[in-house]
């Protein structure tokens, strides 16, 4: 469905045409007209936004968005309606553009879907050599930021709006001034970027203005990986891990699946090593040492709780065992090291960004000793940097050495270490120009603020972690006239052509080398990457001297205690470092471990909570969890927040996630969480020791989407150890209730069995989710939300369990009483399981038979459909759904402000009038409404209140693919959609490839092959619902030599205590469980 982007402008040759006498005379008015970024009218697009105006600009941007023809835009009035249809434009057919989302250390290559000029859905670029089409949840949700009504919409000087021209001219003035001073007193503070163009401009500025300074700052910085590699190998380099090649992985506080950068790639690599088809297949093994329960920890085969400050000690012991082959006392470490050593060349040790350089150096040394370099890790060249840190800049500012400071991205006034006292020292610069996406805390104290363009509205480039150049291509003209960092730098550098498109193309020219530039450029934009230009891994010798130095630095840290707690700072799974605070999808995305939404919390272990006499109630009162509100004090700095007791935390450790508690943010982020940056100092960005925790006597209302975390011995997630699986591959089937007591079958014959003619023999849709490869990363949840126009409902509504996610991830803790010496500590070292739960598309759907109005029905292709227009909202279907995957619109979430949902239109006459006049508009503010509707997928109905909704298996995609195939088939009649043509949004976004959707009627389909695996089972199959969505049982791979080895997973043990060991009994061979597909069942002859 990909289309070639429109051709690029040809360079001007031949006779010169002029459009007016002004043009010919190059009059100042004409010059100004040409220089305006946007045609007349566009730059007045500030606020209030009028709908008509908006649509005009959207349409204009549709034509011009991909071109960057800022000077040559047609006057807008000739664009609507399309008096001349663009050549390759078909109305209603979406277009896909290749672009990339820049990240701190790379970029995620994307394919973005655009409808009538509106980008509406983000997908991974499957064509990219390193990608499978998966993305992370940040990328999926980033499209919502584009349409955020609270984003920066104006250029300001001293807090007052100025025009773009004035602001941009000022940059030119600065540049001219620098030419005379040589850059003295000029500094740039930039966030991290891999943009090749920005690097070129950075070097250009350094060259032109040798005395100017460049500083880099990220609140959560992953640069330590590069630093460690560079030191360890003595040349600028960075490590790239290949988890797919690792058989044994040791993580030292590295949440590589969750909060490390590029985690989506790690998910894929890790899942690759977890994917098994037959019992003889090998499975990787993951050891994790960490202070906080993370996604990585929840996927571990063995997990050791240690305070963050104790990780270095553990690393040192590991180093002793692995490098020096010494005996280590602690059995966990000794046995793990043995396992690593036994897998030379297939082992991998990773350290987390939170850990100091010495731990990373030791990890590098271990990897070197294990022969990992060149096998499970490649060393990639990194550009040498001469950048200063935020601390260096603070020194300069305090010394009065900074006249002009340009801040590109970042929000130091909010996130800078508390000891720097940034808001005060920033004022020491004479002039501060701040470029950012929001008018945030830093913008408020800066002289100038420039609104940044979203990456979907700007030209740029980036280099992925694997070293490929990818374009950042706009799909829409900047909605609020924003500017990119490239343009700012180009103007500072004093370039003649500061148009970012030209800058990026110029960079491309340098990188692409010889050849037909136009064709290469077109291919670059079309493919979304520069093929054959990837950086090659380097080979370097490990500098063993660093190991000694690193070891010396590691001293025995005092263990934290009740009075000396340790506060660990975490990157938030939802709002990152605070940049996504105003993104409703991410705010309402449950934290994968705590399942908390709209807040951060003070997480502590159950034991610590007991000792400090803290609690969060097991049961909510009035639908709300009431948690103790506590105050943490470290070095005189205090914050307050709600307590969350989290199993699996190291004792006396407090985990707080960063990014909440913003003072200057939009409607969504306002009043969410507390600011943990207030505790963080430049000396210890990873954790702070010596914290005290005090109850305030108040309570705080934390909201979670999952109030019960135990499986209660029910066979919902089925798992076994690898040895068990090898002995009895179909153990999962043996856990069905009907395996113990055969049921007589349903009273009513299954409609498909009764009348096979009801069924289509062309398409039968089904899905398989492999619980072994699913890591619980949440990307699918946001992808589903984006694809299916799922609204957010706000904290209050989530506290009543009314979140609308069609796809949720259930997280269960399982613990073994007595496993760690008595019940009291049973919950301290839990095992964690994740399960994506969505509509199972039961063939005998319990929801269908109870709907009194026939609003939910089955189609001939096996889909359980929901006719929203027919639904009256009795909620009976939801009550009768055993999986509880139907969601009800209790309010008009799409059309009402979330804080005023319970306000009746009857309450005010004006509102009543509006209700009568424009019932379709709802009561949300006009600007929000205008933007909110732009992100909607036009192929999916936006549901009103009172209507039940649920997963449709992305029926719009199914129908789209079927129509396309019908057109293609023509007279041949081959209307079966070929395998791989399309997939659902969740399966598409899944970086691990754990979700597989396909056609069961196609015997060769991947989904059929997966369903034939012995691990395949259906949840609650005994109800004879015959779900079309089945799961593959999870297989753990523990090491029998480890001290925390269990001969069966804890959840299986819990099940066995209730129902007997499924490894012993035998499933009755003659019964057709609900596991198989219909197709299979029929092949076997059915009942």
According to CB under 8 A, which residues from 620 to 679 bind another protein?
620-623
- Residues in binding contact with another protein, number by CB under 8 A: 72
At closest approach, how far in Å is the CB of 803 from another protein?
A: 8
Cα separation, 124 vs 256, whole angstroms: 19
Residue 501 or 805: the one with the smaller Cβ distance to another protein is 805
At closest approach, how far in Å is the CB of 351 from another protein?
A: 33
For another protein, the binding residue among 324, 497, 518, 712 (CB under 8 A) is 712
Q: Are 838 and 885 in contact (CB under 8 A)?
A: yes
Cα separation, 294 vs 793, whole angstroms: 26
At closest approach, how far in Å is the CB of 551 from another protein?
A: 45
At closest approach, how far in Å is the CB of 166 from another protein?
A: 47
User: What is the length of the chain?
Assistant: 1087
Cα separation, 899 vs 874, whole angstroms: 25
Nearest to 769 by CA among 1004, 1011, 982, 589: 1011
Q: Are 308 and 351 in contact (CB under 8 A)?
A: no
Q: Fill in the per-residue mask, 194 to 223: x = in contact with another protein (CB under 8 A), - = not in contact.
A: ------------------------------
Q: Which of residues 143-182 bind another protein (CB under 8 A)?
A: none
Cα separation, 415 vs 554, whole angstroms: 28
| 404-408 β-sheet, strand order | 160-162, 155-157, 448-451, 431-436, 404-408, 186-190, 213-216
Cα separation, 138 vs 783, whole angstroms: 10
Task: Tell me: does residue 967 bind another protein (CB under 8 A).
Answer: no
Torsion of CA 488, 494, 500, 504, to 10 degrees: -120
For another protein, the binding residue among 148, 803, 829, 1078 (CB under 8 A) is 803
Provide the sign of the torsion angle of the four alpha carbons 592, 597, 600, 604, taken in this order: negative
Nearest to 115 by CA among 968, 1084, 997, 936: 936
Task: Tell me: does residue 790 bind another protein (CB under 8 A).
Answer: no
Q: Which of residues 223-242 bind another protein (CB under 8 A)?
A: none
At closest approach, how far in Å is the CB of 702 from another protein?
A: 15
For another protein, the binding residue among 947, 951, 977, 1007 (CB under 8 A) is 947
At closest approach, how far in Å is the CB of 963 from another protein?
A: 23
At closest approach, how far in Å is the CB of 536 from another protein?
A: 47
At closest approach, how far in Å is the CB of 905 from another protein?
A: 5
For another protein, the binding residue among 72, 166, 545, 853 (CB under 8 A) is 853
- Cis bond leading into 648, ω under 30°? no
Among the listed ranges 95-103, 221-229, 783-791, 851-859, the one in contact with another protein (CB under 8 A) is 851-859
Q: Which of residues 1039-1058 bind another protein (CB under 8 A)?
A: 1058
For another protein, the binding residue among 208, 1059, 1071, 1080 (CB under 8 A) is 1059
For another protein, the binding residue among 707, 754, 761, 899 (CB under 8 A) is 707
Cα separation, 94 vs 91, whole angstroms: 8
Q: Which of residues 999-1038 bind another protein (CB under 8 A)?
A: 1019-1020, 1023
Q: Which of residues 254-283 bind another protein (CB under 8 A)?
A: none
- Beta-strand pair 377-381/160-162: unpaired
Q: Which of residues 333-392 bind another protein (CB under 8 A)?
A: none
At closest approach, how far in Å is the CB of 271 from another protein?
A: 22
What does DSSP assign to residue 749? P
Query: Which residue has tokens 């025995």?
Result: 556
Task: Tell me: does residue 711 bind another protein (CB under 8 A).
Answer: yes
Nearest to 833 by CA among 270, 295, 135: 295
Q: Are 318 and 350 in contact (CB under 8 A)?
A: no
Among the listed ranges 12-20, 74-82, 708-716, 757-765, the one in contact with another protein (CB under 8 A) is 708-716
Among the listed ranges 268-276, 314-322, 391-399, 852-860, the one in contact with another protein (CB under 8 A) is 852-860
Residue 141 corresponds to which tokens in the numbers above? 């949700």
Query: Which residue has tokens 């590069």?
Result: 226
At closest approach, how far in Å is the CB of 813 from another protein?
A: 11
Q: Where are the beta strands (DSSP E) in 253-306?
A: 285-290, 302-305
For another protein, the binding residue among 713, 751, 938, 1014 (CB under 8 A) is 713
Q: Which of residues 492-531 bind another protein (CB under 8 A)?
A: none
1073-to-771, 1061, 1065 alpha-carbon distances in Å: 20, 19, 16
CA 201 distance to own-chain centroid: 30
Q: Which of residues 860-919 bind another protein (CB under 8 A)?
A: 870-876, 878-880, 882-884, 887-892, 901-906, 915
Query: Which residue has tokens 């040790």?
Result: 349
Among the listed ranges 1-9, 98-106, 138-146, 807-815, the one in contact with another protein (CB under 8 A) is 807-815
> What is the number of other CB atoms lying within 10 angstroms of the CB of residue 145?
22
For another protein, the binding residue among 837, 987, 1007, 1032 (CB under 8 A) is 837
Task: Tell me: does residue 751 bind another protein (CB under 8 A).
Answer: no
Provide the sign of the torsion angle of the four alpha carbons 700, 701, 705, 706, taken in this order: positive
Task: Tell me: does residue 749 bind another protein (CB under 8 A).
Answer: no
At closest approach, how far in Å is the CB of 808 from another protein?
A: 8
Task: Tell me: does residue 971 bind another protein (CB under 8 A).
Answer: no
């Amino acid at each position: 469905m990909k289309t070639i982007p429109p051709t690029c402008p040809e360079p001007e040759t031949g006779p010169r045409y002029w459009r007016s006498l002004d043009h010919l005379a190059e009059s100042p008015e004409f010059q100004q007209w040409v220089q305006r970024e946007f045609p007349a009218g566009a730059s007045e697009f500030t606020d209030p936004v009028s709908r008509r105006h908006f649509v005009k600009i959207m349409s204009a941007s549709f034509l011009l968005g991909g071109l960057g023809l800022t000077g040559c835009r047609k006057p807008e009035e000739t664009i609507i309606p399309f008096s001349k249809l663009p050549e390759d434009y078909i109305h209603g057919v979406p277009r896909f553009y290749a672009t990339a989302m820049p990240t701190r250390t790379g970029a995620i290559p994307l394919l973005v879907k655009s409808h009538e000029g509106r980008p509406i859905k983000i997908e991974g670029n499957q064509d990219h050599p390193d990608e499978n089409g998966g993305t992370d949840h940040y990328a999926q949700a980033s499209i919502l930021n584009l349409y955020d009504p609270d984003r920066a919409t104006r250029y300001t000087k001293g807090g007052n709006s100025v025009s773009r021209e004035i602001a941009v001219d000022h940059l030119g003035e600065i540049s001219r001034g620098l030419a005379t001073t040589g850059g003295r007193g000029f500094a740039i503070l930039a966030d991290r970027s891999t943009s090749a163009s920005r690097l070129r401009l950075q070097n250009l500025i350094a060259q032109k203005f040798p005395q100017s300074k460049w500083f880099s700052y990220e609140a959560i910085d992953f640069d330590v990986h590069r630093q460690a590699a560079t030191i360890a190998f003595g040349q600028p380099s960075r490590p790239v891990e290949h988890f797919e090649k690792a058989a044994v992985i040791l993580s030292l506080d590295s949440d590589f699946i969750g909060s490390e950068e590029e985690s989506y790639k790690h998910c894929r690599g890790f899942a690759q090593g977890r994917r098994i088809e037959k019992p003889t297949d090998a499975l990787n093994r993951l050891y994790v040492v960490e202070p906080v329960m993370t996604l990585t920890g929840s996927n571990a085969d063995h997990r050791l709780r240690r305070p963050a400050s104790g990780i270095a000690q553990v690393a040192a012991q590991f180093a002793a065992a692995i490098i020096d082959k010494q005996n280590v006392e602690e059995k966990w470490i000794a046995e793990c090291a043995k396992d690593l050593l036994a897998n030379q060349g297939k082992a991998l040790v990773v350290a987390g960004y939170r850990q100091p350089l010495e731990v990373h150096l030791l990890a590098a040394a271990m990897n070197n000793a294990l022969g990992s370099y060149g096998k499970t890790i490649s060393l990639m060249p990194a550009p040498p940097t001469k950048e200063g840190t935020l601390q260096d800049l603070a020194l300069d500012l305090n010394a009065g050495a900074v006249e002009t400071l340009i801040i590109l991205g970042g929000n130091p006034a909010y996130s800078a270490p508390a000891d720097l006292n940034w808001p005060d020292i920033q004022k020491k610069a004479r002039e501060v120009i701040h470029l950012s996406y929001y008018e945030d805390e830093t913008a408020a104290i800066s002289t100038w603020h420039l609104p940044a363009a979203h990456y979907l509205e700007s030209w740029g480039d980036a280099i992925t972690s694997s070293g490929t150049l990818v374009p950042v291509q706009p799909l829409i003209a900047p909605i609020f006239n924003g500017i990119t960092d490239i343009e700012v730098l180009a103007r500072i550098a004093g370039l003649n052509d500061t148009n970012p498109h030209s800058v990026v193309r110029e960079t491309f020219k340098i990188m692409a080398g010889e050849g037909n530039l136009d064709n290469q450029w077109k291919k670059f934009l079309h493919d979304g990457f520069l093929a054959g230009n990837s950086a090659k891994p380097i080979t370097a010798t490990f500098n063993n001297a660093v190991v000694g130095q690193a070891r010396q630095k590691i001293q025995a840290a005092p263990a934290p205690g009740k009075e000396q707690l340790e506060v660990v700072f975490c990157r938030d799974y939802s709002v990152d470092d605070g940049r996504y605070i105003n993104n409703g999808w991410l705010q309402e995305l449950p934290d994968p471990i705590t399942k908390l939404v709209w807040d951060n919390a003070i997480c502590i272990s159950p034991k610590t909570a007991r000792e400090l006499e803290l609690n969060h109630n097991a049961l909510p009162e009035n639908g709300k969890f009431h948690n103790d509100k506590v105050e943490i004090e470290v070095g005189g700095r205090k914050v307050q927040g709600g307590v969350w007791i989290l199993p699996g935390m190291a004792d006396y450790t407090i985990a707080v996630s960063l990014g909440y508690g913003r003072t200057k943010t939009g409607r969504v982020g306002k009043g969410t969480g507390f600011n943990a940056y207030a505790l963080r100092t430049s000396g210890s960005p990873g954790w702070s020791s010596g914290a005290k925790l005090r109850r305030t006597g108040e309570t705080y209302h934390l909201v979670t989407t999952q109030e019960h975390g135990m499986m209660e011995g029910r066979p919902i997630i089925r798992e076994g150890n690898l040895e068990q699986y090898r002995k009895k591959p179909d153990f999962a089937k043996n856990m069905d209730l009907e395996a113990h007591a055969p049921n007589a079958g349903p009273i009513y014959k299954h409609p498909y069995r009764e009348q096979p003619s009801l069924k289509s023999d062309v398409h039968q849709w089904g899905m398989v989710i492999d619980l072994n490869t699913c890591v619980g990363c949440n990307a699918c949840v946001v992808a589903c939300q984006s694809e299916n126009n799922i609204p957010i409902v706000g904290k209050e509504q989530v506290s009543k369990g009314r979140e609308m996610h069609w796809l949720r991830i259930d997280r269960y803790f399982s613990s073994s009483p007595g496993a760690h010496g008595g019940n009291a500590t049973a919950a301290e070292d839990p095992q964690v399981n994740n399960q994506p739960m969505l509509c199972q598309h039961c063939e005998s759907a319990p929801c269908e038979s109870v709907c009194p109005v026939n609003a939910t029905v089955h189609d001939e292709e096996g889909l359980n459909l929901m006719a929203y227009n027919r639904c009256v909202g009795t909620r009976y279907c939801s009550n009768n759904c055993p999986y509880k995957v139907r969601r009800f619109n209790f309010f008009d979430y799409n059309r009402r402000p979330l804080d005023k949902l319970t306000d009746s239109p009857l309450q005010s006459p004006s509102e009543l009038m509006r209700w009568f006049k424009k019932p379709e508009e709802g009561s949300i503010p006009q600007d929000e409404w205008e933007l909110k509707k732009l992100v909607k997928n036009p192929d999916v109905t936006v549901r009103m209140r009172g209507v039940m909704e649920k997963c449709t298996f992305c029926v719009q995609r199914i129908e789209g693919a079927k129509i396309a195939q019908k057109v293609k088939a023509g007279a041949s009649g081959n209307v079966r959609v070929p395998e791989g043509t399309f997939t659902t949004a969740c399966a598409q976004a899944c970086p691990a490839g754990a979700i597989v959707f396909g056609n069961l009627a196609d015997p060769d389909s991947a989904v059929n092959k997966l369903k034939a695996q012995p691990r395949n089972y259906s949840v609650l199959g005994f109800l004879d619902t015959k779900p079309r969505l089945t799961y593959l049982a999870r297989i753990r791979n523990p090491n029998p030599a480890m001290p925390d080895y269990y001969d069966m997973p804890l959840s299986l043990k819990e099940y066995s205590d209730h129902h007997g060991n499924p490894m012993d009994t035998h499933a009755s061979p003659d019964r057709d469980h609900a596991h198989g597909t219909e197709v299979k069942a029929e092949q076997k002859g059915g009942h």
